[in-house]
């Protein structure tokens, strides 16, 4: 694990505009850029944390991984350029502040400025916990687990989550599956009346391993309606969420009898599907 020092006050800008980089991570889930890295330590896949040495926001601002390791150049002690892919970047001013880091992630000289340095692996869980604790409400969404929680192969997670927010895919999914939760059968319209109509999350059920380069979303096979509670439970398991079938099994094992509650809601789901199909 490597800590990348960055001093925004000194005018060095590997991001080509930090705000643009933050927007790109928010929108596309990833931002790549060149970074001067220590060759022997920065092998591909190495986890990195971005540390801002700016006066205004000194602290941890982001997370990512080395995707291209630098060529070893013995004469160059500062390192040589490699490529880093950031999967989490916070706006300036929102860092995990240095005093909190000193208190909760001991054993690292947070006050010392270095361009990059290795930090011990056990600091990872502590940093993730702090990241989650200091998150804005949006980042605390269970659909966005703290950075570094997912294995490198699952970097597509942010893009997968975008399928769950794609309006046209959502429409097709709900037209087929209805708007009741596929796990517990909860219907917001039934419980809350008209304001609850069509309110339901859609969940993407394809595991990260199934998302090869040629993957195309099938809104009926790959998306299911889930209420926010069941959806949060699905994403409690990482990297691959619980499937709706597994969640139903967990529920019945915990004392909920499937069938007694599901059948009427399944009928409602059918009725909803017909209504939505007529509406579009
Ligand atoms: Zn549910
Ligand atoms: Zn989901």
Which residues keep their CB under 5 angstroms from ion ligand 2?
203
ipTM confidence? 0.91
Question: What is the per-residue pLDDT for 142?
Answer: 47
Bridge partner residues of 34 (DSSP): 83
pLDDT at 3 over 70: yes
- Who wins on pLDDT, 60 or 135? 60
The Å distance, Cα 247 to ligand 1 centre, comes to 9
DSSP three-state, residue 253: helix
Question: What is the per-residue pLDDT for 93?
Answer: 87
Which residues keep their CB under 5 angstroms from ion ligand 1?
181, 183-184, 186, 227, 230
pLDDT at 155 over 60: no
Instruction: Read off the pLDDT of each residue in 193-207 and give the average, rounded to a whole number.
Output: 88
The Å distance, Cα 148 to ligand 2 centre, comes to 18
Question: What is the per-residue pLDDT for 12?
Answer: 83
pLDDT at 90 over 80: yes
The Å distance, Cα 229 to ligand 1 centre, comes to 6
Question: What is the per-residue pLDDT for 262?
Answer: 54
**Sign of the Cα pseudo-torsion (74, 80, 85, 88, in order):** positive
Cis peptide, bond prior to residue 239, ω within 30 of zero: yes
The Å distance, Cα 261 to ligand 1 centre, comes to 12
The Å distance, Cα 184 to ligand 1 centre, comes to 4
Residue for token pair 């925004």? 8
The answer to whether residues 66 and 39 touch, using CB atoms and an 8 Å cutoff, is no
Residue for token pair 């490597």? 2
What is the tens place of the pLDDT at every residue in 257-273? 554 455 667 767 767 77
Task: Return the closest-CA partner of residue 222 out of 148, 274, 143, 166.
Answer: 166
Show the tokens assigned to 96: 């995990």
**Domains of the chain and CATH, by start:** 2-149 (3.10.590), 158-279 (no CATH)
Query: Strand 47-52 to strand 59-68: parallel, antiparallel, or no bridges (unpaired)?
Result: antiparallel
The Å distance, Cα 217 to ligand 1 centre, comes to 23
Rounded to the nearest integer, the mean pLDDT of the chain is 82
CA distance 238 to 225: 20
């Amino acid at each position: 694990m490597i800590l990348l020092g960055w001093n925004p006050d000194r005018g060095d800008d590997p991001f080509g505009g930090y705000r643009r980089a933050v927007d790109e991570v928010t929108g596309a889930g990833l931002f790549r850029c060149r970074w001067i890295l220590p060759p022997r330590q920065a092998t591909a896949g190495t986890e990195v944390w971005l540390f801002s040495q700016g006066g205004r926001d000194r602290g941890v601002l982001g997370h990512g991984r080395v995707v291209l390791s630098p060529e070893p150049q013995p004469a160059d002690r500062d390192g040589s350029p490699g490529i880093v892919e950031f999967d989490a970047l916070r706006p300036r001013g929102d860092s995990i502040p240095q005093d909190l880091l000193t208190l909760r992630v001991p054993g690292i000289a947070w006050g010392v400025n270095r361009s990059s340095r290795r930090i011990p692996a056990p600091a990872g869980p502590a940093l993730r916990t702090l990241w989650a604790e200091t998150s804005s409400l949006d980042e605390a969404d269970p659909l966005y687990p703290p950075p570094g929680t997912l294995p490198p192969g699952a970097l597509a997670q942010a893009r997968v989550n975008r399928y769950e927010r794609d309006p046209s895919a959502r429409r097709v999914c709900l037209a087929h599956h209805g708007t009741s939760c596929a796990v517990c059968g909860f219907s917001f319209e039934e419980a809350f009346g008209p304001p609850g109509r069509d309110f339901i999350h859609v969940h993407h059920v394809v595991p990260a391993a199934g998302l090869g380069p040629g993957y195309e979303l099938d809104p009926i096979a790959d998306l299911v309606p889930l209420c926010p509670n069941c959806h949060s439970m699905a994403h409690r398991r990482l990297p691959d969420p619980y499937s709706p079938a597994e969640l139903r099994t967990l529920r019945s094992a915990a004392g909920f009898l499937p069938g007694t509650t599901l059948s009427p809601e399944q009928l409602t789901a059918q009725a909803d599907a017909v209504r939505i199909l007529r509406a579009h």
